[in-house]
């Protein structure tokens, strides 16, 4: 177990730092409520809009995978298209996803045994039903791990210790996170996939994804051209990317959207549920004139959880 410093502890969100950001209604009554923190920054990295106290530390989880790929590229990762996109992905373990992961590893003369992520069943229901058992390649972070391995191979670094916080690649990841967020890393631990996990403020995360979308066209365009490789056909980030916006979900209610203009938005839902986060991010973009009403409404209708009474819709989840 790791313990945080006094400085990091002081920036940890207090319950009152979160505000109500979304509600689920049924027949005119609010049935459920979500609290959260959100931040929208401009191309200059300055805060434009926010909900709650945005200068609070969170674990960004998989929302920072695009930035980890920036570090991989700087180390020498030479992938394009689908293979580059899945390195930034939290895929759902379909046969296409696993084939990409296996292809990346085969390209450096290795196989699934080199992956140091846990084993898992595919997240995609159809793929799960067809799977014969758990595997490392089916784990949703295996694309990132394959990228870590390929980048380490390209740089001539040790592959067996690629998850060690002191490994040159992980040091490069930390450097990229600080550069893009404009913040110093105040606390680190281990993510669910076994990789180092660094805290960042909600505002810093928004700044980082905005800068990424504006300054890393090769990676961003690979993600936008292959949203299914980043998530799955109907995951929230994939649906949003079909509209030309870089998007990435993270565990425990984290969600980011970056625009090529350099605007970035980040959301953290207090209860860890993801269902409200993309709606809140889209609402912030809409109310600041960064997406039009038609785009917002189309995505809202695709992403909003419905309150059903039999087959009749009695309400839905909406951002406040």
pLDDT of residue 203: 98
As a whole number of angstroms, the distance between CA 160 and CA 137 comes to: 17
Assess contact for 264 and 211: CB atoms under 8 A: yes
pLDDT of residue 4: 82
pLDDT of residue 5: 87
Q: What secondary structure letter does DSSP report for 262?
A: S
pLDDT of residue 2: 59
Closest Cα partner for 147 from 224, 79, 98, 215? 79
pTM: 0.96
Chunked into runs of 10 residues, the chain (320 residues) has average pLDDT values of 79 96 96 98 98 98 98 98 98 98 98 98 96 97 98 98 98 98 97 98 98 98 98 96 98 98 98 97 98 98 96 95
Percent of the chain that is helix, strand, coil (3-state, to 5) = 40, 20, 35
Give SS3 for 68: helix
Domains in the chain with CATH codes: 6-319 (3.40.710)
Closest Cα partner for 222 from 51, 76, 40, 78? 78
Closest Cα partner for 217 from 244, 240, 237? 244
Going from the C-alpha of 111 to that of each of 3, 45, 99, 105, 169, the distances in angstroms are 36, 41, 11, 5, 20
pLDDT of residue 19: 98
Closest Cα partner for 281 from 61, 21, 62? 21
pLDDT of residue 93: 97
pLDDT of residue 179: 98
Q: Specify the residue for token string 């550069």.
A: 179
pLDDT of residue 142: 98
Which residues lie closer than 8 Å to 127 by C-beta, 6 or more apart? 92, 93, 94, 95, 138
Q: Specify the residue for token string 């300054």.
A: 215
Assess contact for 181 and 203: CB atoms under 8 A: no
Count the neighbouring beta carbons within 10 Å of the beta carbon of residue 298. 13
Q: List, in sequence order, every residue forming a beta bridge with 201; answer none if it has no partner.
A: 57
Which region holds residue 90: left if phi is over 0, alpha if psi is between -120 and 50, else beta?
beta
């Amino acid at each position: 177990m790791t313990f945080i410093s006094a400085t990091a502890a002081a920036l940890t969100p207090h319950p009152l730092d979160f505000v109500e950001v979304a509600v689920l209604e049924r027949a005119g009554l609010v049935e459920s409520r979500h609290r959260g923190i959100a931040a929208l920054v401009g191309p200059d990295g300055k805060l434009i809009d926010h909900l709650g106290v945005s200068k609070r530390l969170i674990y960004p989880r998989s929302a920072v995978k695009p930035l980890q790929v920036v570090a991989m590229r700087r180390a020498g990762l030479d992938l394009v298209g689908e293979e580059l996109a899945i390195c930034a992905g939290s895929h759902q373990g379909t046969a296409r996803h696993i084939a990409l992961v296996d292809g990346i590893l085969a390209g450096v003369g290795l196989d699934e045994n080199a992956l140091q992520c846990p084993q898992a069943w595919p997240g995609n229901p159809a793929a799960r039903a067809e799977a014969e058992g758990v595997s490392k390649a089916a784990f949703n972070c295996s694309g990132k791990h394959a990228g870590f391995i390929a980048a380490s191979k390209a740089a001539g670094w040790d592959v067996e210790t690629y998850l060690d916080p002191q490994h040159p690649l992980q040091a490069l990841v930390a450097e990229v996170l600080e550069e893009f967020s404009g913040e110093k890393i105040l606390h680190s631990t281990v993510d669910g996939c076994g990789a180092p996990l660094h805290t960042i403020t909600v505002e810093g995360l928004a700044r980082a994804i905005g800068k990424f979308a504006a300054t890393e066209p090769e990676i961003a365009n690979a993600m936008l051209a292959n949203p299914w490789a980043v998530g799955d056909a109907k995951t929230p980030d994939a649906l949003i990317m079909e509209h030309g916006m870089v998007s990435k979900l993270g565990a425990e209610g984290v969600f980011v959207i970056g625009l090529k203009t350099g605007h970035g938005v980040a959301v953290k839902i207090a209860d860890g549920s993801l269902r409200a986060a993309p709606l809140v991010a889209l609402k912030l973009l809409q109310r600041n004139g960064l997406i039009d009403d038609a785009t917002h409404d189309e995505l809202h209708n695709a992403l909003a959880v419905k309150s059903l009474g039999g087959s009749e819709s009695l309400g839905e989840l909406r951002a406040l």
